[in-house]
């Protein structure tokens, strides 16, 4: 039996501290309909608390507040914005345990991983507090020598930020921090399944000195009805979305009407390629991280393990041994490394994908089934011998299922890795430096983990190619998603002198 590491009183304290209203113009209040959303603990199926369910009118009120606050926020000094973000970082670090527990309760991931997300998510606050004061332009003479060009950057304006449930804190900070650093105001629409972390974070931002109206949060069960009028409103200047590719595609269609600037962090189908010369210890370690972090519910989760035929048996045997040692349970329990999936649909999907692969000849090495009892758990699973045409190769699994197929030579490995509409991240394990460089140039991906199983880092440009999205978050690039570039031409100041 695993030992609960948090008491019922601690859970209550953390949940009861979250403001449950809409956060608009610096005030908390109910939705205009009075309706609410039940937030459920996926480990138990119990309702944690109810939060406001915004109407379209509430969404427009939030945009009004963001628009009203825009000019004053843009006029603050970069140093001021930097220090507000830095205070937010410090407050978050002081409250890391509470934020981690809140995330585990509403989303399910093990507490250690939630603590890791607080560190990762917090880094966006620190990184963009540092970037806020480093936005520069350029000045130069035009080639003809007849004028001077000045290039400057200014905030895009009010933004709508839509986030998913799988990383409730980090997906919010990855957008809010660069937007605020650049001088933009925002309306945030978190996922209906995990609104609590964003609401608690909005309260923290206010405490850190973010003025009224600069950050507004609307929680709703009617995402389309609330967001579409904002996207079609000419006062909105930017949409940043993280979520599935089909929803991203719908939002792009809506955004096309007013040629709205967009950033799209969409779905993935990451290949994890193990070459015959790989350090297998490192490859197995990387596989465990790339597959089982967040119970496989990550856009960066390795989806297709493509292993050289000469090392496939050994790799499979080693991962199976490790996977059998994973402990499944509530994320708040001691020693648990695999928490619940987010809901029943996620469990059914994992099960369906395993059955489809087995129907086409794959072998279940371990796991393969939903776990009985309360909560939405699926056994950590390894399937080998996955055949071409299996649905698991083309669909984001979003669950703890490690699917292995084999390849014969580098060309085939690259071809299989690229055989997807997605291109967010790829992982490759090889000791051959030149091969690593060839992969960096030939894999159709926005990010490559070369001999590592985790690539996410606030200092790096995160994002994908193909159907995985548009734009980059984090790194030096991240703040430019929220800045316009303006070019000014002036005459040659020496003309006639
Ligand atoms: P999702 O269903 O696309 O939802 C994402 C967000 O969009 C939620 O807040 C959702 O609200 C909202 N939404 C849904 N339909 C909408 C609409 N018509 N108009 C406006 N908003 C709408 O995705 P998810 O299941 O939450 O997240 C998992 C997906 O996100 C996976 O595909 C994963 O790969 C991707 N993801 C990508 C990245 C990345 O950086 N590339 C990072 C994390 C996750 P509701 O919750 O109310 O439905």
Interval 335-379: pLDDT, tens: 899 999 999 999 999 999 999 999 999 999 999 999 997 889 999
Q: Percentage of the chain surpassing pLDDT 90?
A: 95
Q: What is the pLDDT of residues 218-233, one digit of tens each?
A: 999 999 999 999 999 9
The CA distance from 14 to 291, in Å, is: 30
Decide if pLDDT at 92 tops 90: yes
Contact call for residues 150 and 490 (beta carbons, < 8 A): yes
Decide if pLDDT at 496 tops 90: no
Burial of 390 (0-12, 13-18, 19+ CB in 10 A): buried
Q: Which residues pair with 39 in a beta bridge?
A: 49
Tell me how far apart the terminal alpha carbons of the chain are, to the nearest angstrom. 87
Mean pLDDT, residues 271-292 taken together:
98
* CA distances to 71, 91, 130, 191 from 83, in Å: 19, 12, 9, 29
The two tokens of residue 60 are 């427009």
* CA distances to 92, 289, 384 from 111, in Å: 16, 16, 30
Q: Percentage of the chain surpassing pLDDT 70?
A: 99
Mean pLDDT, residues 90-108 taken together:
97
The sign of the CA dihedral 481, 266, 257, 180 is: negative
162 lines ligand 1 (CB under 6 A): yes
Of 240, 244, 249, 255, the one to substitute when testing ligand 1's pocket (max ligand atoms within 8 A of C-beta) is 244
The two tokens of residue 379 are 């056994």
Residue nearest to atom 28 of ligand 1 (CA): 243
Distance 244 CA to ligand 1 centre (A): 5
Catalytic residues: 265, 299
Confidence (pLDDT) at 1:
43
Mean pLDDT, residues 44-51 taken together:
95
The CA distance from 326 to 448, in Å, is: 26
The CA distance from 473 to 174, in Å, is: 7
E strand map for 41-180? 47-52, 138-141, 147-155, 159-162
Order of strands, edge to edge, in the sheet holding 138-141?
Answer: 138-141, 147-155, 483-491
Q: What is the pLDDT of residues 170-187, one digit of tens each?
A: 999 999 999 999 999 999
Q: What is the pLDDT of residues 189-224, one digit of tens each?
A: 999 999 999 999 999 999 999 999 999 999 999 999
Mean pLDDT, residues 46-68 taken together:
98
Decide if pLDDT at 2 tops 60: no
Q: Which atom of ligand 1 is closest in space to residue 342's alpha carbon?
A: 25
Of 124, 163, 247, 300, the one to substitute when testing ligand 1's pocket (max ligand atoms within 8 A of C-beta) is 247
Confidence (pLDDT) at 3:
54
469 lines ligand 1 (CB under 6 A): yes
Of 243, 251, 345, 346, the one to substitute when testing ligand 1's pocket (max ligand atoms within 8 A of C-beta) is 243
Q: Which atom of ligand 1 is closest in space to residue 469's alpha carbon?
A: 41
Q: Closest Cα partner for 223 from 59, 25, 60?
A: 59
Q: Which atom of ligand 1 is closest in space to residue 227's alpha carbon?
A: 20
Residues in contact with 413: Cβ distance below 8 Å, sequence separation at least 6, in sequence order: 273, 275, 306, 308, 407
Mean pLDDT, residues 396-410 taken together:
98
Contact call for residues 177 and 128 (beta carbons, < 8 A): yes
Strand 401-407 versus strand 381-384 pairing type = parallel
Q: Which atom of ligand 1 is closest in space to residue 222's alpha carbon?
A: 47
Distance 381 CA to ligand 1 centre (A): 25
pLDDT confidence tier of residue 487, bands split at 50, 70 and 90: very high
The sign of the CA dihedral 452, 341, 202, 98 is: negative
């Amino acid at each position: 039996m695993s030992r609960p590491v948090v008491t019922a009183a601690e859970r209550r304290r953390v949940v009861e501290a979250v403001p449950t209203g809409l956060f608009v113009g610096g005030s908390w209040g109910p939705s205009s309909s009075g309706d609410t959303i039940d937030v459920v603990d996926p480990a138990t199926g119990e309702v944690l608390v109810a939060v406001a369910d915004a109407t379209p009118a509430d969404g427009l009120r939030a945009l009004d507040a963001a628009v009203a606050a825009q000019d004053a926020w843009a006029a603050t000094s970069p140093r001021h914005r930097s220090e507000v973000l830095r205070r937010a970082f410090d407050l978050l670090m002081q409250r890391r345990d509470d934020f981690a527990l809140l995330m585990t309760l509403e989303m399910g991931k093990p507490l250690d991983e939630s603590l890791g997300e607080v560190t990762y998510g917090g880094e966006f606050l620190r990184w963009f507090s540092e970037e806020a004061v480093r936005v520069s332009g350029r000045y130069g003479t035009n080639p003809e020598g007849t004028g001077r060009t000045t290039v400057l950057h200014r905030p895009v304006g009010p933004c709508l930020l839509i986030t998913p449930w799988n990383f409730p804190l980090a997906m919010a900070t990855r957008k809010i921090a660069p937007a605020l650093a650049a001088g933009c105001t925002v309306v945030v629409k978190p996922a209906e399944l995990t609104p609590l972390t964003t609401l608690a974070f909005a309260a923290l931002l206010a405490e850190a000195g973010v003025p009224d109206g600069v950050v507004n949060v609307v929680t709703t069960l009617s995402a389309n009805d609330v967001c579409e009028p904002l996207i079609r409103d000419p006062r909105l200047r930017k949409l940043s979305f993280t979520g599935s590719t089909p929803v991203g595609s719908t939002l792009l269609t809506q955004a096309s009407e007013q040629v709205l600037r967009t950033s799209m962090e969409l779905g993935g189908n990451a290949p994890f390629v193990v070459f015959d010369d790989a350090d297998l210890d490192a490859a197995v370690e990387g596989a465990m991280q790339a597959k089982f972090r967040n119970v496989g519910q990550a856009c960066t989760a390795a989806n297709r393990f493509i292993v050289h035929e000469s090392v496939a048996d050994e790799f499979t045997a080693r991962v199976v041994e490790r996977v059998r040692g994973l402990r499944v349970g509530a994320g708040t329990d001691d020693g648990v490394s695999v928490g619940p999936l987010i809901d029943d649909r996620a469990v059914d999907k994992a099960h369906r994908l395993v059955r489809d692969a087995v129907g086409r000849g794959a072998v279940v090495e371990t796991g393969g089934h939903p776990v009985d009892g309360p909560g939405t758990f699926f056994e950590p699973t390894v399937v080998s011998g996955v055949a071409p045409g299996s649905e698991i190769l083309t669909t984001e699994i979003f669950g703890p299922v490690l699917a292995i197929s084999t390849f014969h030579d580098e060309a085939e490995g690259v071809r299989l890795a690229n055989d997807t509409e997605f291109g967010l991240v790829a992982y490759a394990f090889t000791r051959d430096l030149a091969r690593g460089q060839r992969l960096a140039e030939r894999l159709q991906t926005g990010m490559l983990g070369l001999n590592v199983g985790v690539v996410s880092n606030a200092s790096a440009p995160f994002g994908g190619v193909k159907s995985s999205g548009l734009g980059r978050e984090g790194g030096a690039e991240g703040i430019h998603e929220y800045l316009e570039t303006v070019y000014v031409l002036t005459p040659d100041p020496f003309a006639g002198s």
